[in-house]
Amino acid sequence: MRILPVSAFRLNSYTTDNNKPALPKTGYDSFTGSKLSPFKVFPDFGTVEFFAKNLKVLKPPQAIKKQIIRVADEINNSYPQNEPLTAVCVLRGGTPFFQELVKHLKMPVQMEYISVSSYGHGLQSSGKIKISGKLPDLNGKNVLIADDVVDTGNTLNELVKQFKSLRAKSVKTAVLYDKADKRVEICKDLKPDFAGFSEENSPFLIGYGLDLFGHGRGLPYIGAAKPGFVEKLKTSGLLDN
């Protein structure tokens, strides 16, 4: 999912016959030049009720937990249980997956958190990333990177490279959702070592770490945006066509 920078409009500039605010054809207000807030388009945006009426549940909580436990079992079978594992969570989306995953790991686990962002001024990722926060000494350690989703592969690919350059003994990756058909050319051979769900042609997903404008990460399920909802997002200018 690629979200463009949001732009804004004044609600009282767009009305219908019954004087209720209507969605503009573009999200840009030539008068203010401000940014469009999703709360202006959807007054109840971000609430549990909002997501319940606009999402179709694809992965219920029980199914997600089952897959995470399976991933944990695979990890347990891949490392000596008497050898510490440095598990690194990629903020913010990876948090729900990471917190459930480490509960089921049997080896000693050192938990670390990093914030990752692309740098550059284009809308497309440059393929280079900037890590915020100080990493621990990874020299000679087994490292597991945990994130919510891998699509283009840029972020995960660069993280693996950087961690290996820090002389980690091993670097493996675990993701909740693998969208293999979204890989960019330079990452076409990238495959996470452990994945909860691996699907192609997956719809617009929200929940369990996956967000919409910073909201919805805390939902206990993964849902797909209903077609009418996606169209509203596009019409309003909140979502790229």
Residues classed as catalytic? 151
Peptide bond into 92 cis (omega under 30): yes
> Which structure tokens are listed for 4?
């463009």
DSSP output for 62-110: HHHHHHHHHHHHHHHTTS-TTS-EEEEEEETTTHHHHHHHHTT--S-EE
Q: What b/e sequence results for 144-154 when a residue is b if at least 16 CB atoms lie within 10 Å of its CB, and e otherwise? A: bbbbbbbbbbb
Distance CA 160, CA 150 (A): 13
Report CA 150 to chain centroid distance, whole Å. 8
DSSP H or E stretch at residue 116? strand 109-118
> Helices 61-76 and 95-102: crossing angle, nearest 10°?
60
Distance CA 217, CA 96 (A): 8
**Beta pairing partners, 90:** 114
